[in-house]
Structure 1
Amino acid sequence: MATFVIVHGAWTGAWSWKRVVERLRAKGHVVHVPTLSGLGERTHLNTLPINLTTHIDDVVNEILFHDLGNVVLVAHSYGGIVGTGVIERVKDRIASVVYLEAFIPEDGQGFIDFVGGWELKGELIEAPPTSPGDYLREEDRAWVDGKATPQPTATLTERLKVAGAYKDLAKKTYIVATGWDGFSTIADTYRNDPAWQVHEVACGHDVPIDMPDELTALLEKAA
C-alpha cells in the first residue's frame, strides 16, 4: 500500500479532497491531507503573517512529524507551487509526484507570475466566484462556494527558490482536466517527455470533487 500526502489548492482545505481520501483509505492506503495555515478549518489563523513558506512548512512538518517516507506527493493547482517547495526540502522522502491541474514554478516564480492581471493587495484575497458549468453537479458548486475561505495574500505573492529537485524524482505524473483549458499548456510541455506520464480527465478544474473514482485510480497508478 502507498503513502499519499496531498497538497490542496488555494481557498480550499482538506475538505475538498474528502471523496478521494475516503476511496484511497478504503483501499488500504495511508493518506495525509494537511489543511494549509489560514484556510479551511484553520481559517481562524488567517490574520497571522502567513506566506508561501508557511504553507511549505505545513506540509514538510506533516511528513517529518509523522515519520513518512516513500511518499506519493499529490499537488493540486496552487498546491503545485507548495509541493515543488516541499520536494526542495525533503526530496529523500518523496518517491513520486503527481501534479494535478497544477502550477510548476521555475526559480523565482510564485502564484502571482501565473495569473496576469490579478490584483493581489491587502492581507486576504477572497475566493474567485464560481459560475454555472464549473462543476459537473450544481450541488457541488454550492458546496464549494459555502466552504471556500479567503487566502492569505502573501502565499500568492511570495516567490519560490527552485533548484529543480522535482526533476530528479523517478516517477512524475501530470493530470489535466479537459473540461476547460486552464492548464492544458502546462500539460502539453510534458506529453512527449519520457520522464513524465500525462493523463486526462473529462471534467473541470476541481477533479477531486467532480471525478473522485477516476482520480483515485490515476493516483494508484502513479504510486
Structure 2
Amino acid sequence: MTAFILVAGAHTGGWVWREVAAGLREAGARAYEVTLSGVDGGGGAAGPGVDLETHIEELVRLIDRVEERDVVLVGHCYGIHPVRGAADRRSERISRIVNVDVGIPEDGDPALKLVPDQTNRERVLSLAQEDSAGTLPAPAVEEWQRWGSVAGLPAEVLARLTEQAVPQPLPTLTQPLRLSGAVAELPTTGVLCTANGSSIAVVEAMVGLGDPAFRRLADPGVTFFELDTGHWPMLSAPRELVDVLFRAVAGKGHRVAAVREQPTHLRPFLMDVEERPRERTGRVDLHLPDADGPRPAVVFVHGGPVPAGARPTPRDWPAFVGYAQYAASLGAVGVTVDHRLHELTAYARAADDIAEAIELVRADPRVDGDRVGLWFLSAGGLLAADWLAAPPSWLRCVAASYPILAPLPGWGLADSRFRPVAAVRGAGRLPIVLTRVGLERPEIAVTVEEFVSAAADCGAALEVIDVPLGHHGFETIDPTDASRDAVRRAMRSVLGHLGAGTD
C-alpha cells in the first residue's frame, strides 16, 4: 500500500486536501492530510519557535510513524519546503516527491524566494523587520490571486478558503531551507497548473536555455503532468489530481529530453540576410547599415526570464541577430540589448536597461534620434507598456512578435505597470505592428486577443500580421515561406513608419 503525505501551502492546513485524500483512500491508498503547527487555527498565534525547521521535524516524525513501505510526499506551494527538508533526512523512506504547482527549492532557499508576487515579498520582509517571529495575516478574498490563479474555484469554495485560512508564521517563510543533497536523488513529479501560467512547454524552454540550474529537470527520474486549472487543484480539480498522483507513483508522466541537439532558440534564422558590421557597447549591439547620414533605428527587445548563466546571451541568438541584420540591410540601424530580465521579479530592472539602451542609441551620431522603433518579442512584450502608455515624440512605431501582453497568472505582476492590455489606451495614433502566431500557447494567446480587443475599443492604430501555422519563436522553428513572408511584411511596415528606405 502507498502512503501519501499531503502538505498544504501557506495559510492552509490538511483540510484543503479533504477530497483528494478521500479519493486516494477509495482507490486503496493511505492518505495523511497534514496541518502543521502555527497554521492549525489556534487563534492566529504562531507560538514560540515555529519556523521552517519546526515543520520539517514534524514531517520527519510523521514519516517515522508511517508503516507503509512506499511513502510519497506531496507538497503544494509553501508545503514543498518542509517536504524537501523532511525527504532529505529520510530519503531511504521516500519513493517519490510530488510538487503541486510549485518550483523546486534548493539548499539555502527561503520559501519567500518562490513567492512570485513582489508586493507579497515586500510585505513579508517589512513585517519580519518589525517582528521576526510574527505572522503574515491570512489573505482577504480578493488577495488570493496574489498567491496564484484562482481559476476553477467556485465562489463558494473561494469564500471557504478565505474563511478557514489562518495567519502564517513569518519564520516559515524567511528561514533558509537546509539540505544535505540526499533529496536530489529521489524521483520527482511536477504537477503544472496551466491556468497559473506554468506548462510543460515552459519547462522545456527553460531547459533549452542550457542554464545549469535547470538541467535536473531533464533527469530520467523527473516527470511532469499538466492540469488545466489554477493554483489550487486540490480544491478545483480534486479527481484529476488524484488520478495524476497515482500515475506519478506508477512512474508515468512527461519527461523533458536533455538538450543533446541544437535547442530551438539557437537554430538558424529563417532568412539569409546580408551581413552588416556590428559594434558592441556594454549590453548594446548596433548593426549598421551601408548608408550616409543619421538613420532611423529599431531596438529589438528579447523576452525571458533568461537565466543570468545562460550562454550565449540573447543578443547573440540567431533570431535577434537575424532581425537586426535584416533591419540594417534595409537601411536602418538594428539594435539588440541584453537586458537583465533574469527572473520574473526583475521587470523593473529590465525596463531601466531598455530605457538606458535607447538613450545610448539616440545619442549615437549615426542614428536619427527622432525616428526610433521598438520591437518586443515573447515575454518582452510586457516591457512595451511604458512606451504605449505615454509614447514620446521620437517613438514612431511599436512592434511585437508572439508577445505576452498581460502578466500571466502566477507571475506576481497583476497590479504592476507592465500591462500592455491596459497601456494601449494611451497609445493614441502610434502605429503598432503585431505578429500573431496561430499555434501560440493558450495562456499567451488569451493576452494577445485581449490586447487586440482593447486596441479596437480605443481606436489604436493596430496592424495584425498573422502566421496561422507559426509557433512561438517561429523564426527558428518554422522556416516556411509563410513565416518568411510574415517577417518581411512586419519589417517593411515598421521601417515604413520610420521613413526608412526599404527598396
TM-score greater than 0.5 by the shorter chain:
yes
Residues 58-207 of structure 1 aligned to structure 2 (within 5 Å): 58-115=58-115, 116=118, 117-120=121-124, 121=127, 122=131, 123-131=134-142, 134-136=150-152, 137-169=154-186, 171-181=187-197, 189=214, 192-207=218-233
In percent, how many aligned pairs have the same letter?
Answer: 31
Q: How many Å separate the matches in 2 of 1:196 and 1:119?
A: 34
AA partner of residue 30 (structure 1): R
Unaligned runs of 5+ in 2: 207-213, 250-503
| Residues 44 and 166, structure 2, Cα contact 8 Å, conserved in 1 | no
Could you report, residue by residue, the CA deviation over 1:8-56 in whole angstroms, capped at 9, with x for unpaired residues?
Answer: 1110000000010011111111111221001134556623320000011
| Distance 1:25-1:173 versus aligned 2 partners, 3 A rule | same
Unaligned runs of 5+ in 1: none
Q: How many Å separate the matches in 1 of 2:178 and 2:234?
A: 28
Q: CA deviation at 1:163?
A: 2.8
- Which has the larger Rg? 2
| Residues 151 and 195, structure 2, Cα contact 8 Å, conserved in 1 | no
Could you report, residue by residue, the CA deviation over 1:153-187 in whole angstroms, capped at 9, with x for unpaired residues?
Answer: 11111001123322212x31000101122688678
| Residues 39 and 150, structure 1, Cα contact 8 Å, conserved in 2 | yes
Q: CA deviation at 1:111?
A: 1.1
Q: How many Å separate the matches in 1 of 2:141 and 2:236?
A: 14
Q: CA deviation at 1:135?
A: 4.0
Q: TM-score, normalised by structure 2?
A: 0.41
Count of residues in correspondence between the two structures: 222
**Aligned residue for 2:8?**
8
- Tell me the secondary structure at the aligned position of residue 40 of structure 1: coil
| Distance 1:75-1:186 versus aligned 2 partners, 3 A rule | farther
- RCO higher in 1 or 2 (8 Å CA, sep ≥ 6)? 1
